[in-house]
Structure 1
Amino acid sequence: MNHAQIRAFHAVASQGSYTKAAQTLHVSQPTLSDHVKALEERYGVKLFKRQGRGVALTSLGHALLEITRRKFSLEAEAEQLLSMAKGMMSGKLRVAADGPYLVVPLLGAFCRRYPGINISMNFGNTERVLQDLLEMRADIAVLPDFNNDERMFALAYRTTKLVVIVNREHEWSRRRSIKLSELSEQRLVSREQGSVTRSQFEQALRQKRVTPASVLEIGSREGVREAVAAGLGIGVIAESELGNDDRLVPLDVKDAELNVTEYLTCLKEARPIPVVQAFFELFGNPQGPMLTEL
């Protein structure tokens, strides 16, 4: 089987686009297309179908992607094993997270232990981070409120509560807590669809039958903070993400339990890769932060 053709298929299948796949592999798009076409013609099959500006996998393509994921995961594991046999820990660790507040300190500790590892980070909402992990664009993901998935390995890292935030000029700035019913008269600054923070808070509002006066949707956690600081409404964030921003005042929600647990996750087939294994071993070490395996 032609390695270049399989590699081209895997890149297109993972990225969902010939253009993005060509950029990832640093080859021209016509070269990539030729490899995929040659693979399909060799076996007389159809692996992709056109969908808008991108491509979608056929049922056979989906089955082949599951195999190529394992293949390239094993290749990465073999490469790192041989590197370690020389007495060095090298390679690359790709991390996806829903925000920098938790993952950056973790990676700082990891870099101090393994300075030879190159690290890349991508940030997005929970839905995007999970997609990056499942499509093997990330080796490790930091996810809130992980749902059991047989394809994944996860360790519970930390639980934090959600708090309402207002700016210093708001009428509630001298208070310590509120009830959800009070939000019916306020504008809520909310994350985009796909955010666990948003979905958890909206569920709590529905349970109390509370509808905010209006909702301003912003596509990032940092955007929510800036909008609240500018007086555009009331926001909701994890308490651990408050930082030292003296423009904002946190308020507890008295009549709802709003807790989010962050998990460190990877695909099960990626767990034996030395650099991934080293990451989990570091943060599962009794001398460091304690983790609970699912």
Structure 2
Amino acid sequence: MLRVLCADLERELVAARDLAIVTLRICHSTYQLAIPVIGRFMQAQPGTEIEARAKASADVLSGIEAGRLDIGFITAREVPDGMQGMKLVKTPVVLVARPDHPLAIKGHADWSEIAQFSLIQREKGSGTRQIFERAANLAQIEPDTVLALGPWRSIVTMVRAGIGLGVAFAAELSATDELVPVRIADGRLIARHFVVCQKHMAHVAVVEAFLAKTCVQGNGSATTARI
């Protein structure tokens, strides 16, 4: 019995040590969704060092597959093959406009209307852009994308300046952006945001603890993709 108790204690000490000294490498494509989870984890595990950066979803996945990243926040239809993760949020893809824009006043738009306006999108590796352009292609519309930007604040600045309409998650918008969402009349424009890692990393103590905090926010459950 004493030997069993000692073994259990040793495992707990090793797990605590792993959580305390590990540097967790995280990459996100949408900071509005990722930062609250990262912040909550840091409060619970203040001894863990975090390296967090922003990239397009395709680049996040490449980093995880190559072993350069431990955890990624991505936009996708589902958890990618061979990875483990959970859904953080499901949100529509919308246009983002100044409050005085005709489509903002109307509140919604169809594809024929969208084709008449200049658009500001994220870079081509962005999951949001892929969802939007896939739906536009099915609607036989070629979007007039005049700018491709990475950071959300850059998109907000250009939309405010009247350069064009933004394309984004509805969940990305906040009151401080001083912009409004314009709903697109297309049921295919639904984005899912996931937190993912390589399957073998899901059992590493610090990664497991991070996913647990994600589950609290997303009220979801871990999902293993098919191989």
Q: TM-score of the superposition, structure 2-length normalised?
A: 0.84
- For residue 106 of structure 2, give the secondary structure of its aligned residue in structure 1: coil
**Which AA in structure 2 matches 1:219?**
G
Partner of 1:171: 102
Tell me, in whole angstroms, the C-alpha distance in 2 between the residues paired with 1:157 and 1:140: 13
CA contact 2:74–2:127 (8 Å) conserved in 1: no
- C-alpha distance in 2, partners of 1:139/1:87? 14
Is residue 48 of structure 2 the alignment partner of residue 140 of structure 1?
no
Q: Give RMSD over aligned pairs.
A: 2.3
CA distance in 1, matches of 2:32, 2:60: 15
1:289 deviation in Å? 3.7
More strand by share: 2
Matches within 5 A, 1:1-294: 83-84=14-15, 89-145=20-76, 146-150=78-82, 152-213=83-144, 215-245=146-176, 247-284=178-215, 289-294=218-223
**Secondary structure class of the residue paired with 2:91:** strand
The one-letter code matched in structure 1 to 2:109 is I
Cα distance per residue 1:62-118 (max 9 Å; x no partner): xxxxxxxxxxxxxxxxxx976546697342211111021111100111111111111
Sequence identity percentage: 27
Residue 220 of structure 1 aligns with an amino acid whose one-letter code is P
The 1:106–1:219 alpha-carbon spacing in structure 2 relative to 1, beyond 3 Å, is: closer
Per-residue deviation at 1:134?
1.2
Aligned AA (1:149): D
Q: 1:86 to 1:125 in 2, by over 3 A?
A: closer
The amino acid of 2:69's aligned partner reads A
Change (3 A) 1:199 1:214: closer
Q: Are the equivalent residues in 2 in contact too, given 1:184–1:212 (CA < 8 A)? A: yes
Normalising by the residue count of structure 1, what TM-score does the alignment of the two structures yield? 0.66
CA contact (8 A) 1:183 1:211 kept: no
Q: Give the Cα separation in 2 of the matches to 1:251 and 1:172.
A: 7
Q: Is the 8 A contact 2:156 2:177 kept in 1?
A: no
Aligned to 1:23: none
Letter in 2 for 1:96: C
User: Relative contact order, CA 8 A, sep 6+: which one is greater?
Assistant: 2
SS where residue 116 of structure 1 aligns? coil
Distance in 1 (alpha carbons) for counterparts of 2:113 and 2:100: 17
8 A contact 2:94–2:168 mirrored in 1:
yes
Q: Deviations over 1:231-272 (max 9, x none)?
A: 001111001110113531211112343111111111112122
SS at match of 2:153: helix
- Partners of 2:15 and 2:41 in 1: CA distance: 17
Equivalent position SS for 1:292: coil
Residues 204-213 or 83-92, more deviating: 83-92
Does structure 2 retain, via aligned residues, the 8 Å contact 1:127–1:194? yes
The total of aligned residue pairs comes to: 212
Larger Rg: 1
Q: Secondary structure at the match of 2:128?
A: helix
- Which stretch of structure 1 is more off in the superposition, 169-178 or 184-193? 169-178
Q: Aligned equivalents of 1:169 and 1:192: distance in 2?
A: 26
Secondary structure, in 3 states, of the residue corresponding to 1:149? Answer: coil
